[in-house]
A and B are shown apart, each in its own frame.
Chain A
């Protein structure tokens, strides 16, 4: 009887210890599948893989990166939605996928189908042109369009397509808006002369610093870090819309709070640490990490989804 009691107490003690440990220190019950909504080898894909690599090294969890590209991130989100909500499947996309793209696709997905973990970096979205065009400000480009006719404007998503359209309308110029796949393609097209100017989300920084490219305007609600004197979209008459956007990690809706916190914290720590490869990359391309999480991220995702309708409405007029 006594031994039985002792054993029971010991077992109870052990049980209490393990539950206490799991409450403070969530660990995934198995390998974590990381679904990446970007093409292999691009800047975003590299960022995701470097974060996964560093997470493995720091936490000992194992990650399986997987490409799920297409439809502006919706391919990934549609397949993420039905995955187990226990922290073993997460995805990386841009906030625009959960906002404009989700709204415009109207395929039964809403941001509430997902749990936002954390953003990693905000875009440094500039309107970029080649320096040898001789334009130093956006008004030079406007003048060129007024004297020589339509300009070719490269964009990388339908949301930017709408914004570029509104920009042309606000400035009274004709823009032939060319959709390209990703910022790298827009930049390539600008350099090759296939388009005259276009939206680039951060990878222009090296070329701008070298004097090959110029940031004519900021696509954001705030001025660009690299070219603070360039006008914002609001200055150019495109209100209240902007191309603010972030890389974001998400999980299916209903992920337990401790898993959400643990994953978000671990990712944020890495991108905020500039000595890690992932942190270094974020610093180089985006001027540093922006880690929005928790209720603030929920609000951001909901607001993006709501404002998308207004943008579509404005651009359809």
Chain B
């Protein structure tokens, strides 16, 4: 069976999987239903300031696993839901940014610059339509690139990278993430180091538990759920609570602006916007394919390059970026949405997550089992089928399904989400806190898990306060085990060569690049 047969099986697995119910005697599979449910939840969460897609993914994952169990049938419905959330949240974030000048997600900040002036000028409807169209176009483009590139890259890795090179590649990824996420490479390295320290407690190959300080409690180590949900979600909740406490006296009432004039997105508009969307989609996809660089940078770059282009093509005196031009909204939204598909290229082909959403997809695959993101996913056996490849194509199908929902229903849902801005944070945050703790306990029913998660939550809070991004921590925690194993295996396989990381040109190049990326980003920019 070739690659295409697997692709077809993947499509069938999504549509003909276990049926949830029948609609006009047409069986609707659980996967379809869950992609849709995730998509709706994603839009709602994205449109709510203070909540974000990863939060919804984190909380729903253990709940979904407890419903669908650990069989391989559970993979597509559960991951389909997460993909739905991821896709929905990308378009939802623009809503409060445009309507109320409050970005729903951090990367929607640039959308406020032109989106909100448009809303003030009575063009809120049009701004939302522009945001929707650009966002979905960027996303779809990115997904196509993912489907074309991931298998190719995976096969390349399989063919050329041996154990020492794989080890060096992991080190390069960690150093790259440390260097580019957050303010400074120093803070990134602290975050990465803390993540590695945490994952190495209680783990390792020896039967004697490592770094447990002689206690039974630490000897089992920290589970991924407690560490990731603690640092990423609880940390954000604690920070949000503190901000709410500070802000609640001076919260301005949200004002709405009446709509005036034409709100429809005309074909002429689309033609005018397409160059901006295209340019940003390419930027977003390129940035997304590199692990660790988030959609915020993509949005900033897309916006800046869009502005340059706009200045070149507009007559002097015409309204520019920042005055409420649709091009500004289009350039931002296309760029930040194009990140999400390409972000899965390193996940699926190398097993290296690049952002928080990808972390939860890896977590889902890890907890359910039967699907290990990495090069082996794309191996085509000479006889029989590779079930992991079928799952991979099932995931691609789920992504395109979510895109189809985005194209058809997304705009409609999105325009009705303005009300979410009024969701009171002081009620939302405790709910998220409770749900997260419940989710952790469901996954790991012992009291220590809750205590660990709270401790990681405080760690995440203080890291945020010190301006240290928690993302390198989380990615280091996820990759730490793999890094150690691969390094041990490479060392053993080379017959105990202590310089195995420098013995081959490719590995040596990766190691050099790992150092270079830190050195170059640490240098102060010349001003």
Contacts of B262 in A (CB 8 A): none
The stretch of B52-60, B374-382, B405-413, B513-521 that contacts the partner chain: B374-382
Contacts of A5 in B (CB 8 A): none
Q: B207 near A194 (CB under 8 angstroms)?
A: no
B368 within 8 A of A: yes
Query: Cα distance A131–B515 when bound, in Å?
Result: 41
Contacts of B367 in A (CB 8 A): 40
Query: Cα distance A6–B440 when bound, in Å?
Result: 56
One digit per residue, 1 when the CB lies within 8 angstroms of any chain A CB and 0 when it does not, for chain B 476-518 equals 0000000001001100111110000000000000000000000
B465 within 8 A of A: no
Interface residues on A, range: 35 or more
Q: A150 near B207 (CB under 8 angstroms)?
A: no
Q: B71 near A210 (CB under 8 angstroms)?
A: no
Q: B493 near A66 (CB under 8 angstroms)?
A: no
Known: A192-B158, A212-B381. A40 touches B368 (CB 8 A): yes
Q: A194 near B383 (CB under 8 angstroms)?
A: no
Q: Report, nearest first, the 8 A-B pairs whose CB atoms are least far apart.
A: A41-B369, A105-B207, A40-B369, A41-B370, A210-B383, A178-B492, A176-B495, A178-B489
A174 within 8 A of B: yes
Contacts of A179 in B (CB 8 A): 205, 488-489, 492
Q: B71 near A194 (CB under 8 angstroms)?
A: no
A279-295 residues with Cβ-Cβ distance < 8 A to B are: none
B267 within 8 A of A: no
Query: Cα distance A211–B366 when bound, in Å?
Result: 31
A104 within 8 A of B: yes
A236 within 8 A of B: no
Contacts of A79 in B (CB 8 A): 220
Query: Cα distance A18–B410 when bound, in Å?
Result: 63
Interface residues on B, range: 35 or more
Contacts of A227 in B (CB 8 A): none
Q: A107 near B493 (CB under 8 angstroms)?
A: no
Selected contact of B445 from candidates A66, A104, A181, A210, CB within 8 Å:
A66
Query: Cα distance A72–B205 when bound, in Å?
Result: 9
Q: A176 near B369 (CB under 8 angstroms)?
A: no
Q: B376 near A75 (CB under 8 angstroms)?
A: no
Q: A41 near B221 (CB under 8 angstroms)?
A: no
Query: Cα distance A223–B295 when bound, in Å?
Result: 57
Contacts of B71 in A (CB 8 A): 46, 49
- If A46-B71, A78-B219, A180-B485 are given as contacts, then 20 extra A-B residue pairs at C-beta distance below 8 Å, sorted by A number, are A39-B369, A41-B369, A42-B369, A49-B70, A49-B71, A66-B445, A71-B209, A72-B207, A75-B219, A101-B207, A158-B207, A174-B495, A176-B492, A178-B489, A178-B492, A178-B493, A179-B205, A192-B158, A192-B375, A210-B382
Q: A71 near B207 (CB under 8 angstroms)?
A: yes
Residue of A nearest to B202 (CB): A70
Closest Cβ of chain B: how far from A49's Cβ, in Å? 6
Selected contact of B220 from candidates A39, A70, A210, A212, CB within 8 Å:
A70
B24 within 8 A of A: no
Known: A194-B163, A210-B382. A75 touches B220 (CB 8 A): yes
Q: B208 near A107 (CB under 8 angstroms)?
A: yes
Residue of A nearest to B382 (CB): A212
B72 within 8 A of A: yes
Residue of A nearest to B485 (CB): A181
A195 within 8 A of B: yes
| 23 residue pairs A–B, Cβ–Cβ below 8 Å | A40-B366, A41-B368, A41-B370, A42-B369, A45-B70, A45-B369, A49-B70, A71-B207, A71-B209, A75-B219, A105-B207, A105-B208, A107-B208, A174-B495, A178-B163, A178-B493, A179-B489, A180-B485, A180-B489, A194-B162, A206-B384, A210-B382, A212-B381
Query: Cα distance A181–B513 when bound, in Å?
Result: 29
B140 within 8 A of A: no
Q: A152 near B369 (CB under 8 angstroms)?
A: no
A235 within 8 A of B: no
A230 within 8 A of B: no
